[in-house]
Amino acid sequence: MDQKLEQHFVALLEENQNIVHKVCSLYTHDQDAHKDLFQEITIQLWKAYPKFRGDSKFSTWMYRVALNTAITLYRKSKKRVRTQDYDSVIFKIKTEDYDPTEEQQLKLMYKAIRQLNDIDKALVFLYLEDKNYKEIAETMGISEVNARVKMNRVKNKLRTILNP
């Protein structure tokens, strides 16, 4: 693959890297694993890049590769020791309208999401990314009706966790 293609790809990924980070934050529990998965997704994106035709947005194309890597291709490396608890690193989101109750709710919510299985996490991820059910169904390879039913179940599960 020529240099121009590589540069083009790197620029696109740099611009859209948040998508990969978000997937990594859902599927890993520490910073080392996050970096590991980020790298594997990057490799898979690069390998698939020659097939990217540009008829969809680069970001849309990334969702599929990133999720496929996280739930299907990625093998967790067992060599590392678990470092700092990931929740405390990632969820330090402070804004001007900081509300401790909201912050607590969010922490609980993220904790609950990360306890879901890989497939439910993927559904929640696509929902949070504002994808419609057609796109969710297409990405996961299930019917739209099933995606809707399953998503409603997951949403109710999350609501129950926050309002026991």
Partner 1 sequence: MMDELDLLKKDWQRKGDYFPKVSSDEIHQMIWKKSSSIVKWIFIISILEFIIPHLFYLFPPSMQLKEGFEMYDRMGITPWFIGASVLQYSIIFYFLYQFYRRYKEISVLDNAKALMAKILKTKKTVTYYIITSLTFLFMTCVFIAGYFYFMDDIEQVLQLPENAKKISPTKLKNIFAGSILVLGIIATVCFGGLYYLIYGLLLRKLNRNFRELKKMEM
Per CB under 8 A, 95 contacts partner 1: yes
Q: Which two tokens stand for residue 69?
A: 């890597």
- Element of type H or E holding 122: helix 118-128
Mutual angle of helices 58-68 and 133-140, in 10-degree steps: 50
- Give min distance, CB of 153 to partner 1, in A: 10
Among 109, 132, 134, 152, binds partner 1 (CB under 8 A): 109
Per CB under 8 A, 130 contacts partner 1: yes
Among 28, 69, 86, 131, binds partner 1 (CB under 8 A): 69
- Give min distance, CB of 9 to partner 1, in A: 7
Contacts of 39 (CB under 8 A, 6+ apart): none
Per CB under 8 A, 114 contacts partner 1: no
- The type of residue at 110 is Y
Per CB under 8 A, 164 contacts partner 1: no
Rg, Å, the chain Cα set: 17
Distance of CA 13 to the CA centre of its chain: 15
Specify whether the CB–CB gap between 62 and 126 falls below 8 A: no
Contacting positions for partner 1 (CB under 8 A): 6, 9-11, 13-14, 17-19, 21-22, 25, 38-40, 42-44, 46-48, 51, 61, 64-65, 67-69, 71-75, 77, 90, 92-93, 95, 102, 105-106, 109-110, 117-120, 122, 127-130, 138-143, 146-147, 149-150, 155, 158-159, 162-163
